[in-house]
Structures are given as structure tokens and as C-alpha cells.
Amino acid sequence: MKTCLVVDDSKVIRKVARHILETLDFEVREAGDGREALDSCLDTPPDVILLDWNMPVMSGMDFLRALKDSGLPTRPKVVFCTTENGMAYIRAAIEAGADEYVMKPFDRETLESKLQIVGVA
């Protein structure tokens, strides 16, 4: 079973994402900000991370940079999942190393499709 870490400061979004991911046979872990997510990754790296952009303590972009510098032998796939839907944000995320990008709001088909594209579903 593949593991997905859902990183979002909204409990509601985490709950919705968890529900969809569990129906797609993922084991789901949650983090409320980038710092929590980084600790979770360093402890046990997931297969894929669903990452919000704007969060307290550590943003999605800061988390992505920290993950790159963390020296993890295998970097999990990173799928940004955010309301920042402009091309400039998308380009910045991809240039910073994100593998895919989901624009909120999302549904099951969107999430499944993006997870297939990064090769984890």
C-alpha cells in the first residue's frame, strides 16, 4: 500500500483528501504545516506528498526547499495542491522541484489522474 502525506492547514481539506485517497487505497498521514511535514518525512518518507502552498510556520515552498536539502536518499513525489492557480505560481512550483500541480477545488478524478501521472496510483 502506498503512503500519501497530506500537508494542509485546513482540517476540512485534509479530511476530504484523506477520504478520496483512502478510496484509492493509500495509507494517509497528515501534517498541518511544512515543519510538521518535514519531521514526518525525515521520520518515514511517504511515497507522495500532497502539499498546500500557504500555511503557518513553514509554507509549501519553504518545505519543498527544505526537503531538497534534507538529504533523503529517495525524495517522495510532490504534488502541490493549492488555491494559487495562476501560471506564475505553477511555474515557480515546478521550477522549485514539484512533480505535479493540483488547483483547488479538486475532485476524485483530478486527484487520481495527477497521482497516476506521477506514477504512484
Asked whether position 29 contacts other proteins by CB under 8 A, the answer is no
* List 34, 114, 115, 120, residue binding other proteins (CB under 8 A): 114
* CA-CA-CA-CA torsion sign (46, 78, 58, 95): positive
Q: What is the nearest approach in angstroms of other proteins to the Cβ of residue 115?
A: 12
Q: Are strands 77-82 and 27-31 parallel, antiparallel or unpaired?
A: unpaired
For the purposes of burial, counting CB atoms within 10 Å of the CB of 6, is it exposed (0-12), middle (13-18) or buried (19 or more)? buried
3-state secondary structure of 107: coil
Q: What angle do CA 56, 60, 65 make, to 5 degrees?
A: 120
Q: What is the nearest approach in angstroms of other proteins to the Cβ of residue 2?
A: 19
Q: What is the nearest approach in angstroms of other proteins to the Cβ of residue 85?
A: 7
In the region spanning residues 46 to 105, those forming contacts with other proteins, defined by CB under 8 A, are 85-87, 90-91, 94, 100-103
3-state secondary structure of 100: strand
* List 42, 57, 72, 117, residue binding other proteins (CB under 8 A): 117
Q: What is the nearest approach in angstroms of other proteins to the Cβ of residue 58?
A: 23
Interface residues with other proteins (CB under 8 A) are 85-87, 90-91, 94, 100-103, 106-107, 109-110, 113-114, 117
